[in-house]
Structure 1
């Protein structure tokens, strides 16, 4: 059972509705109490999502601002590698326009192991690649 302070609600943030889940839970990882509050906050990043500076930016932001609703006690966080992929793709563009990567989204806050959203690339060796000729 979810703690009584957490509530699952249908996912309605337009940026996130095409992701492979349809309910979210609040308060979220940044302690937004409602989806409406989270939507206002996530929308500041919509230009980054539109230009697709990282293929992972949308999934990363949505799992922070509109986490998947589960029966676990806390929302599932994005994996650190998902964060790093989003940051590495988008931070230089943000800096170009005078913005810094937000402290609350610093990748050190996110797990490198255990249950998290995204490919956790730190725990698996890269696959062997061969070229067919």
Structure 2
């Protein structure tokens, strides 16, 4: 009977580890992504992302997305820029940024959308 209990406990422990391991790996990925983002944004490597560094990074992202350099990012340019995502998600993101609905995003609209997202993220962290 004692051997059965030990085997049962070992089996339960193995199942628990198997169920929790993906969450631990996900947490590591989140930490890795945060560290990579910090490394990219923190231009002077002082451990703090200043407003100037954040603004410079945002302007660089907009400029990179504005493939033809006309000062606007079209839906097509946005779809081609940045990380690969499904078209539905990119369309939704573009619609959120295109404040006046003219089918293109100006630097001001891009900045406003970025500020809005930053505020939502701050609020989510406080909850």
Q: TM-score, normalised by structure 2?
A: 0.24
Identify, as 1 or 2, the structure richer in helix. Answer: 2
Greater C-alpha radius of gyration: 2
Structure with more relative contact order (C-alpha pairs < 8 Å, separation 6 or more): 1
Q: TM-score, normalised by structure 1?
A: 0.23
